[in-house]
Chains A and B, each alone.
Chain A
């Protein structure tokens, strides 16, 4: 079991957004979390990555058997957790090379390894760029600065490739992408899949799941997981929309 969430309650300021999430992800699984806008999908991603603006009020999260909520964001990353941001941040003046070099070497230090030499590092960058299929010029620019929406998302997948996470959480990675960019992002994710890695794909639409095939689909509604099923659930949602889920929940 890589991730176990028990009765998670969390919110921003006075507002409670997550109202008792229970979720289990096993090694090697791909989970999709779907749900209407405002259901709490991104808040869940933020809690998992350790964003301080979200406050956990109840519940617990175990990551590889460790108490995730006690770990700093950087520790989570070094333990193999990766968040692909819905809105990647621009960092003017910091090159992608400097950024990734710092990140990769922090990860290596954590595992007791020497920093990569400059040439080994550039070789790694080149390999991963090719694997993910991003324009090699992007790597020479400042982090996300002046990148198009699609380039930013591809850059998230590139960073994921560089850091080889055990659990990746992709927060609406498909939003704002045209179909070609979507395919590149999805292919990247599929190529990076290993038997010992797991993913949580958060999405509003079913279309990403044409390319990334989930083992399990959850529906998040009003801060709770209200339905969990196999991949066919995604198709049902695509066909019927979220209204029938809302009705079902309200009836209960």
Chain B
């Protein structure tokens, strides 16, 4: 067995004890994938540092722990996403919440005015059976990460969204992931997002914790972006530092589609985002961007993998981090140009500012190129705040602390300005400034008192 021996048993046990209840609540197609996924997870285990994707990750701190798990939806006193305003206050969204990975509303599946279907993953798996058979588990089947298979083996609920051909969604869809429990819990949820042809949609996912317990979440999202469609996913992660979160996002892109994935990491003890873009149709374009503003003992990583399967596709990765105190940041960016993928353009950049001697960053480009007519580049920097900029700001009367904040804000803004929704950009700029000032632990305008 590979991976972290011993730890894996905890999760195999969870499966063995609960598989009956899990199967009772899911559709036959989803259940048919559970046993093979369990066997794969059993073989691969929890990733350790020998796994290239997790080379600099330290998962044991969060995985080697005795969590309870929730197999039925828990109660929550939070009903409305709009009450939960830390993230994006003035932005009009189609909001919904997930509580510990479960869709809490009585109305399990609904059609929005613009024709978009959205609701509970569990409910949709029966009502949209053929769509599930076509897509579910097709993209999240990587041979390099046992945790994806652990999710396929056990997840029962999450968000489902289906955008029919030709639909332009005026409002972003916002999912507020809430973890709230008086016990230490391990959650898994699963999202399936299917966009037809000629569709435009933006999805915002906000991760929050509302109670002071130790949590671990392992979430998988599969996205299908149809021909000529435009899709943006923006993840704003603001969980407390006793919380661990592993996300796996698989974006399958068809001909002439555009998809951007954006991970904004603010708080959270362990945050590890794995983002995959599969460019399977010619003319597809992928952007994968991320920002991590971390301090204390935060341990944060982004693994990005872009597969160019066909010719004439473009991809860009831009990840930036400000690492303070004892925190650790990781960027691991892979570009894989398959033999047929001529005329590929694939670029990658990672810039980091370390604010203390104890702050750490690991950055690892990984390019595999099997076509000969391609343009690829990568670059990484690690440094301290730029002295020339600091002096320039100070020479205008701005004190050292404020000058440093402005410098870091400007540094971070490059990632924020890539986000396609103006109202969200402005809100994120605010959040970044609050985070840099250390004022984000509790948001004044929020009705929910976060831990």
**Chain B residues, Cβ within 8 Å of A93:** 409-414, 417
**Contact present for A74 and B409 (CB under 8 Å):** no
> Is B362 on the interface with A (CB-CB < 8 A)?
no
**Contact present for B399 and A94 (CB under 8 Å):** no
Complex Cα gap A142–B414 (Å)? 11
> Is B29 on the interface with A (CB-CB < 8 A)?
no
**Contact present for A74 and B399 (CB under 8 Å):** yes
**Contact present for B399 and A142 (CB under 8 Å):** no
Q: Which residue of the partner chain B has the closest CB to A84?
A: B395
**Chain A residues, Cβ within 8 Å of B383:** none
> Is B394 on the interface with A (CB-CB < 8 A)?
yes
**Contact present for B410 and A106 (CB under 8 Å):** no
**Chain B residues, Cβ within 8 Å of A72:** 394, 399-400
Complex Cα gap A27–B202 (Å)? 61
**Chain B residues, Cβ within 8 Å of A91:** 389, 392-393, 406-407, 410
B399-428 CB mask vs A (1 if < 8 Å, else 0) is 110110011011111100100000000000
**Contact present for B393 and A110 (CB under 8 Å):** no
**Contact present for B406 and A99 (CB under 8 Å):** yes
**Contact present for A77 and B397 (CB under 8 Å):** yes
Please tell me the number of chain B residues within 8 Å of chain A, measured between CB atoms.
Answer: 24
> Is B17 on the interface with A (CB-CB < 8 A)?
no
**Contact present for A89 and B388 (CB under 8 Å):** yes
Q: Which residue of the partner chain A has the closest CB to B386?
A: A89
**Chain A residues, Cβ within 8 Å of B397:** 74, 77-78, 103, 106-107, 110, 163
Complex Cα gap A28–B361 (Å)? 53
Complex Cα gap A93–B403 (Å)? 13
**Chain A residues, Cβ within 8 Å of B407:** 91, 94
> Is A73 on the interface with B (CB-CB < 8 A)?
yes
A residues 116-131 touching B (CB-CB < 8 Å): none
**Contact present for A159 and B396 (CB under 8 Å):** yes
> Is A85 on the interface with B (CB-CB < 8 A)?
yes
> Is B398 on the interface with A (CB-CB < 8 A)?
yes
Q: How far is the CB of B450 from chain A (nearest CB, A)?
A: 28
**Contact present for A102 and B402 (CB under 8 Å):** yes
**Contact present for A89 and B406 (CB under 8 Å):** no
Q: Which residue of the partner chain B has the closest CB to A103?
A: B396
> Is A83 on the interface with B (CB-CB < 8 A)?
yes
With A107-B397, A163-B397 as given contacts, are A73 and B410 in contact (CB-CB < 8 Å)?
Answer: no
**Chain A residues, Cβ within 8 Å of B105:** none
Q: Contact check: which of A74, A89, A99 meets B400 at CB < 8 Å?
A: A74
> Is A59 on the interface with B (CB-CB < 8 A)?
no
Q: How far is the CB of B129 from chain A (nearest CB, A)?
A: 48
Q: How far is the CB of B111 from chain A (nearest CB, A)?
A: 41
Complex Cα gap A142–B396 (Å)? 16
Q: How far is the CB of B256 from chain A (nearest CB, A)?
A: 31
With A52-B391, A85-B392 as given contacts, are A74 and B410 in contact (CB-CB < 8 Å)?
Answer: no
**Chain B residues, Cβ within 8 Å of A61:** none
**Chain B residues, Cβ within 8 Å of A99:** 393, 396, 406
> Is A207 on the interface with B (CB-CB < 8 A)?
no
Q: How far is the CB of B366 from chain A (nearest CB, A)?
A: 27
Q: Which residue of the partner chain A has the closest CB to B402?
A: A102
**Contact present for B392 and A88 (CB under 8 Å):** yes
Q: How far is the CB of B338 from chain A (nearest CB, A)?
A: 35
**Chain A residues, Cβ within 8 Å of B388:** 89
**Chain B residues, Cβ within 8 Å of A74:** 394-400, 403
Complex Cα gap A76–B389 (Å)? 17
Complex Cα gap A76–B397 (Å)? 7
Complex Cα gap A209–B367 (Å)? 57
**Chain B residues, Cβ within 8 Å of A52:** 387, 391
**Contact present for A89 and B396 (CB under 8 Å):** no
Complex Cα gap A142–B407 (Å)? 12
**Chain A residues, Cβ within 8 Å of B395:** 49-50, 73-74, 76-77, 82-83, 85
**Contact present for B414 and A92 (CB under 8 Å):** yes
Complex Cα gap A174–B388 (Å)? 21
Q: Which residue of the partner chain A has the closest CB to B399?
A: A74
Q: Which residue of the partner chain A has the closest CB to B391?
A: A51
**Contact present for B402 and A106 (CB under 8 Å):** yes
**Contact present for A94 and B391 (CB under 8 Å):** no
Q: Contact check: which of A85, A98, A110 meets B406 at CB < 8 Å?
A: A98
Among B392, B400, B409, chain A packs the most CB atoms within 10 A around the CB of B392
Complex Cα gap A107–B393 (Å)? 13
Q: Which residue of the partner chain B has the closest CB to A78?
A: B397
Q: How far is the CB of B162 from chain A (nearest CB, A)?
A: 37
Q: Which residue of the partner chain B has the closest CB to A51?
A: B391
Complex Cα gap A76–B399 (Å)? 11
**Contact present for A142 and B391 (CB under 8 Å):** no
**Chain B residues, Cβ within 8 Å of A92:** 410-411, 413-414
Q: How far is the CB of B437 from chain A (nearest CB, A)?
A: 13
B270-305 CB mask vs A (1 if < 8 Å, else 0) is 000000000000000000000000000000000000
Q: How far is the CB of B433 from chain A (nearest CB, A)?
A: 10
**Contact present for B398 and A106 (CB under 8 Å):** yes
**Contact present for B396 and A163 (CB under 8 Å):** yes
**Chain A residues, Cβ within 8 Å of B391:** 49, 51-52, 73, 89
**Chain B residues, Cβ within 8 Å of A82:** 395
Among A77, A93, A99, A107, chain B packs the most CB atoms within 10 A around the CB of A93
Complex Cα gap A110–B389 (Å)? 22
**Contact present for B398 and A102 (CB under 8 Å):** yes
**Contact present for A89 and B389 (CB under 8 Å):** yes
Q: How far is the CB of A139 from chain B (nearest CB, A)?
A: 15
A residues 43-92 touching B (CB-CB < 8 Å): 49-53, 72-74, 76-78, 82-83, 85, 88-89, 91-92
Complex Cα gap A52–B392 (Å)? 12
**Chain A residues, Cβ within 8 Å of B393:** 91, 99, 102
On A, residues with C-beta under 8 Å from B are 49-53, 72-74, 76-78, 82-83, 85, 88-89, 91-94, 98-99, 102-103, 106-107, 110, 142, 159, 163
11 pairs from A and B in contact (CB 8 Å cutoff): A74-B403, A77-B397, A82-B395, A89-B388, A91-B389, A93-B409, A99-B396, A99-B406, A102-B402, A106-B398, A107-B397
| Given A74-B398, A89-B389, A163-B397: 12 more A-B contacts, CB < 8 Å | A50-B395, A52-B387, A73-B391, A74-B396, A74-B403, A77-B394, A85-B392, A92-B414, A94-B407, A99-B406, A102-B398, A107-B397
